[in-house]
C-alpha cells in the first residue's frame, strides 16, 4: 500500500460545478462509452493487494490523456479510503487525487468516483465492524468537500459481490464463512452507501449514485434447484435494499430477520437511497451452474475447485457458459430483468473478456450492439463501460496472492508504458459512431461455439471460417492473415492457433509468398518458418540469430503490410535495422503438449506414472510452451505492435525447479524429483535491463500445459482445446 508522510497539502484550484465534464454538450440519444481501470484494493490477512501501482498508473498522469483519446464520456475512478487514510481517519492525503481529478475535468472526462472497490476499509475497520459505515461516510464527506464539482459517485463498488467474497466465501478479509456475518457485511455496505450519499449531497445536491454490482444467474441440476432459487433472489439484494424493497413480504425478509437484522432492515427501508443509475457488471463467467454430478468436472478452473454442500449434497459451482447445455440467459435478458425490476436508468459498468485479442473485441462489440438494440426497444440504457483499461493482475486466483498473472485490457502495460491493443482502435470507432472493424470479427466468439462445452467431442475447437487454403479463392472473403511456412511445428502451431481463434488465414510457401502477398492484400503476414531451429529438441543448442532481415519482411515493409517472424533468443541481436511494421519474436526452445518426446512432456508422463524424475539443478530452463508463444505473437500482431518482443520464461528456473513446479501443478509428489548437478547462482530478479517477456508466468503456463498434455495423451492433439474462460474468474461463485 502507498503511504504518505506529508498529509493534506493546500487545495489547488478546482473546476467549478458548471464547468465540470458532466455539463459539456453531447447527444443524449447516443449510447455513451465509459471506461474504468482495475483499481481494486483488497485485503488478504494482513496484506493489501493494490492494482494501481501494479499497473503503473500510480505514477503516470498521462494515462488520463490516453483514456480521453478513446472518446469516452465518463471514467470510473478511485478515491479509495484505504489509499487515502491508511493509518487514521484523521489523516487524509489528497495529493494523488488533487493531481488527477482536475486533469480529468480538463480533458473532458466525467469522473464516477469510487470510494471503496472490493475493499474492507483501512486496517482500523472491516466490513463486519460497526464503524465501517460511519467511517466511509466521513471519508465521502471529505472527498466531496475537496471536489464539490464531481457529480457521479459509487461509494461502494459491488457490495453484494464484495460481501460474498469476504464474509461468505472467506477469500478476502475478514475471511469469514458465516451467512449471518455475510448479511451484516452487506448491510454495513448499504448503510455506508446511504450515509456517504447523504454527506455528498450536502455538498452537491445534484450528486448521482451510480450503484454497481455483478448481475448473473444461477442454473442448477434438479437436486440443487432450491439453492439456485435462493441465489437468484440474493443477487438483487444490494439494489433492493437501496431501493427500499426489502420489507415484509420480500422473498428474503424472513431469512434476514432470523439473523436478528429486522431493525436494520426497517431503518433502511424507511430511508432508502435509490440509485440514479443501476450499474450492471457482467462477465462470461457470471452465470453459474450448481451441479451435483461432481465427477463430470475433473478439470475445473482454480477459482471453481472448492466443493459446496447443500443439505448434505456435494456440488461444484462452475461457469454455465461451458457447462450448461440448455444455455445461458445472456446479458440482454439479464438487463431486461433489471429494467423490469427497477425501471431506473441502467449502464453496463464493466465489460471485459479475459481472452485473446479478437475474442476481447468480439465480446465488447456484441455487448455494444446488444445495448443499442435494447435502447431501440425503449430501455433507458445509458452506456457501456470498457473495463480493465490497463489490464489486471491475478484475478484468475481471486487476487488472493501475487502470482504475476497479467491479462491485458484496452492497453497493455507489461513494458512499463501503456501500449494500445486492438480493442483501443475498436473503441475509438464505436465512440465516434463508426462500425467496428477488426480481423476475426466476422467469426463467432468462443461462447457461441459448440466447442465451448466441456463435453464437446474432440476436434470441434476449429472455427469454420473461409480462407484456409492457399489458392486464390481463399482471398475472396476479405483480408486474411498470410502465413508463410514450412512443414515444421511453428507453421503447424500458427495454422492451429488461427483455426481455434477463428482468424481467416492463407498458407503459402516461401516460393509463393510474394504472389500471395500481392493477391490477397492481407492485414498482416506471419512468417512461421523455423529458420533458427527453435523447435529442435531441448538438448540441441539453437543457432544464434543471423542478424539479417529476411527478404519477405523487407517486402512487407515496402508494401506497408505488418509482418512478424521468429528468431532464437540465444545469442546475437534481432535482425537489424527493423523497418516500421516488422515484429520480431525472440523465443527460447519450443515444446508442444502432444509431442511425447519433448522433455516437459516426458517429465509429466513420468510424474503421472509415479516414477522418480532426475532433473538438472545446474541447467537453466529456457523452454517456451508453443501454444503460449503463438497466442502471444498473434495478439501483438493484431495490436499492430512492431519492433522486438521477447518470449522467454519470466522465472529464472533450472530444469529441477521446473520439474518440481510441474509436480506441484500436476498434484504429484515433488519428492519424485531428484536434482543433480551444481546449482546455478541465484539470479538477480530486479536486474536492470532485463527485457519484457510477453509470456504468462510459469505457474499459469504449467496449468495449461498439464491439462493439455494429459488430454493429448489420452485422445491426441485434436482433444486439446483452449479454455478462454479460465483467464478471468472475477465474478465466479
pLDDT in tens, 255-311: 999 999 999 999 999 999 999 999 999 999 999 999 999 999 987 877 787 899 999
Are residues 528 and 385 part of one domain?
no
> Is residue 54 included in any domain, yes or no?
yes
Are residues 623 and 553 part of one domain?
yes
Report the C-alpha dihedral over residues 370, 38, 14, 66, rounded to 10 degrees: -70
- Main-chain dihedrals φ then ψ at residue 309, nearest 5 degrees: -145, 130
Which CATH number do you get for residue 255?
Answer: 3.20.20.80
Which pLDDT score is estimated for 727?
36
Strand spans (E) along 576-638: 582-587, 590-591, 613-616, 624-625
pLDDT tens track for 35-74: 999 999 999 999 999 999 999 999 999 999 999 999 999 9
pLDDT tens track for 179-201: 999 999 999 999 999 999 999 99
**Inter-residue long-range contacts of 705-712, CB under 8 Å, 24+ positions, other chains counted:** 705/593, 705/600, 705/604, 705/625, 705/662, 706/604, 706/662, 706/665, 706/666, 707/299, 708/593, 708/627, 709/593, 709/594, 709/600, 709/601, 709/604, 710/604, 710/608, 711/593, 712/593, 712/594
> Is residue 455 included in any domain, yes or no?
no
Are residues 672 and 565 part of one domain?
yes
- Residue closest to 386 by CA, chosen among 711, 23, 58, 70: 70
> Is residue 700 included in any domain, yes or no?
yes
pLDDT tens track for 112-128: 999 999 999 999 999 99
Which pLDDT score is estimated for 455?
85
Are residues 475 and 402 part of one domain?
no
Are residues 259 and 181 part of one domain?
yes
Question: Are 115 and 140 in contact, with CB atoms under 8 Å apart?
Answer: yes
> Is residue 732 included in any domain, yes or no?
no
Which CATH number do you get for residue 697?
Answer: 3.40.50.720
Owning domain of residue 268: 36-216+241-284+333-431
**What pTM did the predictor assign?**
0.93
Provide mean pLDDT across the span 321-345: 97
Are residues 470 and 366 part of one domain?
no
Which pLDDT score is estimated for 678?
87
- Residue closest to 410 by CA, chosen among 361, 371, 348: 361
Integer Cα distance of 213 and 279 in angstroms: 6
Q: Count of domains in the chain?
A: 2
- In the chain, % of residues over pLDDT 70: 88
Measured at the CA of 116, the angle between CA 110 and CA 120, to 5 degrees, comes to: 175
Are residues 472 and 413 part of one domain?
no
> Is residue 400 included in any domain, yes or no?
yes
> CA 222, 328, 359, 431 torsion: positive or negative?
negative
- Cell numbers that stand for 426 in this block: 475498436
pLDDT tens track for 458-474: 666 666 554 444 444 34
Integer Cα distance of 439 and 656 in angstroms: 41
Longest dimension (CA), the chain: 80
Residue 581 burial class via C-beta count within 10 angstroms: exposed 0-12, middle 13-18, buried 19 and up = buried
> Is residue 639 included in any domain, yes or no?
yes
Which pLDDT score is estimated for 464?
57
Which H helix or E strand runs over 180? Answer: helix 179-203
SS3 44: strand
Are residues 508 and 399 part of one domain?
no
Are residues 685 and 586 part of one domain?
yes
SS3 615: strand
- Residue closest to 83 by CA, chosen among 110, 46, 56, 49: 49
Are residues 487 and 406 part of one domain?
no
Predicted confidence band of residue 10 (pLDDT cuts 50, 70, 90): very low
Of the two residues 478 and 582, the one the predictor is more confident about is: 582
Which pLDDT score is estimated for 684?
60
Predicted confidence band of residue 552 (pLDDT cuts 50, 70, 90): very high
Are residues 506 and 420 part of one domain?
no
> Is residue 354 included in any domain, yes or no?
yes
Are residues 517 and 420 part of one domain?
no
Least confident among 585-594, 658-667, 680-689: 680-689
CA distance to 169, 443, 527, 529, per residue, from 471 (Å): 56, 21, 18, 20
> Is residue 437 included in any domain, yes or no?
no
pLDDT tens track for 323-334: 999 999 999 999
Amino acid at each position: 500500500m502507498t503511504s504518505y508522510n506529508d498529509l493534506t497539502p493546500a487545495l489547488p484550484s478546482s473546476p467549478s460545478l458548471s464547468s465540470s465534464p458532466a455539463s459539456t454538450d453531447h447527444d443524449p440519444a447516443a449510447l455513451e462509452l465509459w471506461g474504468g481501470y482495475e483499481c481494486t484494493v483488497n485485503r488478504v490477512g494482513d496484506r493489501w493487494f493494490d492494482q494501481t501501482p501494479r499497473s503503473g498508473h500510480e505514477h503516470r498522469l498521462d494515462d488520463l490523456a490516453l483514456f480521453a483519446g478513446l472518446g469516452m464520456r465518463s471514467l470510473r475512478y478511485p478515491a479509495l479510503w484505504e489509499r487515502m487514510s491508511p493509518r487514521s481517519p484523521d489523516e487524509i492525503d489528497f495529493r494523488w487525487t488533487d493531481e488527477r481529478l482536475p486533469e480529468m475535468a480538463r480533458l473532458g472526462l466525467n469522473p464516477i468516483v469510487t470510494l471503496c472497490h472490493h475493499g474492507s476499509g483501512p486496517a482500523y475497520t472491516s466490513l463486519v465492524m460497526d464503524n465501517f459505515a460511519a467511517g466511509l461516510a466521513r471519508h465521502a464527506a471529505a472527498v466531496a468537500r475537496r471536489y464539490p464539482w464531481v457529480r457521479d459517485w459509487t461509494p461502494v463498488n459491488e457490495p453484494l459481490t464484495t460481501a460474498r467474497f469476504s464474509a461468505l466465501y472467506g477469500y478476502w478479509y475478514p475471511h469469514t464463512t458465516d451467512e449471518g456475518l455475510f448479511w451484516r457485511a452487506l448491510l454495513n455496505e448499504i448503510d455506508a452507501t446511504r450515509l456517504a450519499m447523504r454527506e455528498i449531497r450536502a455538498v452537491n445536491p445534484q450528486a448521482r449514485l451510480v450503484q454497481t454490482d455483478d448481475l448473473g444467474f444461477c442454473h442448477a441440476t434438479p437436486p440443487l434447484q432450491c439453492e439456485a432459487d435462493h441465489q437468484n433472489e440474493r443477487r438483487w439484494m444490494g439494489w433492493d435494499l437501496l431501493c427500499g424493497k426489502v420489507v415484509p413480504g420480500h422473498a428474503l425478509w424472513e431469512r434476514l430477520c432470523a439473523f436478528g437484522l429486522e431493525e436494520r432492515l426497517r431503518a433502511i427501508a424507511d430511508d432508502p437511497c435509490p440509485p440514479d443509475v443501476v450499474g450492471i457488471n457482467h462477465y462470461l463467467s457470471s452465470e453459474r451452474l450448481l451441479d451435483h454430478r461432481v465427477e463430470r468436472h475433473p478439470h475445473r478452473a482454480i477459482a471453481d475447485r472448492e466443493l459446496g454442500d447443500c443439505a448434505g449434497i456435494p456440488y461444484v459451482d462452475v461457469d454455465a457458459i461451458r457447462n450448461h447445455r440448455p444455455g445461458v440467459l445472456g446479458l440482454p435478458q439479464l438487463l431486461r430483468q433489471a429494467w423490469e425490476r427497477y425501471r431506473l436508468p441502467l449502464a453496463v459498468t464493466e465489460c471485459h473478456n479475459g481472452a485473446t485479442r479478437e475474442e476481447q473485441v468480439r465480446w465488447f462489440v456484441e455487448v455494444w450492439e446488444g445495448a443499442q438494440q435494447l435502447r431501440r426497444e425503449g430501455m433507458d440504457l445509458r452506456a457501456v463501460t470498457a473495463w480493465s483499461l490497463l489490464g489486471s493482475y491475478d484475478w484468475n486466483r481471486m487476487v488472493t496472492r501475487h502470482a504475476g498473472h497479467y491479462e491485458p485490457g484496452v492497453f497493455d502495460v507489461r513494458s512499463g508504458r501503456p501500449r494500445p491493443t486492438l480493442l483501443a482502435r475498436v473503441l475509438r470507432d464505436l465512440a465516434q459512431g463508426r462500425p467496428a472493424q477488426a480481423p476475426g470479427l466476422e467469426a463467432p466468439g468462443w461462447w457461441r461455439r459448440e466447442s465451448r462445452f466441456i463435453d464437446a467431442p474432440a476436434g470441434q475447437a476449429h472455427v469454420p471460417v473461409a480462407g484456409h487454403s492457399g489458392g486464390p479463392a481463399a482471398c475472396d472473403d476479405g483480408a486474411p492473415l498470410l502465413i508463410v511456412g514450412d512443414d515444421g511445428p511453428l507453421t503447424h502451431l500458427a495454422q492451429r492457433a488461427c483455426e481455434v481463434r477463428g482468424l481467416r488465414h492463407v498458407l503459402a510457401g516461401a516460393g509463393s509468398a510474394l504472389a500471395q502477398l500481392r493477391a490477397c492484400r492481407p492485414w498482416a503476414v506471419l512468417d512461421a518458418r523455423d529458420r533458427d531451429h527453435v523447435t529442435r529438441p531441448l538438448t540441441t543448442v539453437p543457432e544464434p540469430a543471423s542478424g539479417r532481415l529476411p527478404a519477405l519482411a523487407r517486402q512487407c515493409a515496402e508494401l506497408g503490410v505488418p509482418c512478424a517472424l521468429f528468431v532464437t533468443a540465444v545469442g546475437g541481436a534481432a535482425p537489424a535495422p527493423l523497418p516500421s511494421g516488422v515484429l520480431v519474436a525472440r523465443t527460447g526452445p519450443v515444446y508442444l503438449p502432444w509431442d511425447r518426446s519433448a522433455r516437459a512432456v516426458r517429465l509429466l508422463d513420468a510424474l503421472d506414472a509415479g516414477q522418480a524424475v532426475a532433473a538438472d539443478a545446474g541447467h537453466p530452463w529456457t523452454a517456451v510452451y508453443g501454444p503460449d508463444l503463438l497466442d502471444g505473437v498473434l495478439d501483438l500482431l493484431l495490436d499492430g505492435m512492431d519492433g522486438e518482443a521477447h518470449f522467454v520464461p519470466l522465472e529464472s528456473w533450472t530444469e529441477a525447479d521446473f520439474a518440481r513446479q510441474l509436480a506441484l501443478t500436476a498434484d504429484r509428489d515433488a519428492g519424485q524429483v531428484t536434482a543433480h548437478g551444481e546449482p546455478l547462482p541465484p539470479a538477480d530478479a530486479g536486474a536492470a535491463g532485463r527485457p519484457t517477456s510477453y509470456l504468462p508466468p510459469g505457474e499459469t503456463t504449467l496449468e495449461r500445459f498439464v491439462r493439455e498434455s494429459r488430454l493429448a495423451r489420452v485422445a491426441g492433439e485434436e482433444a486439446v482445446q483452449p479454455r478462454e474462460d479460465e483467464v478471468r474468474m472475477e465474478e465466479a461463485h
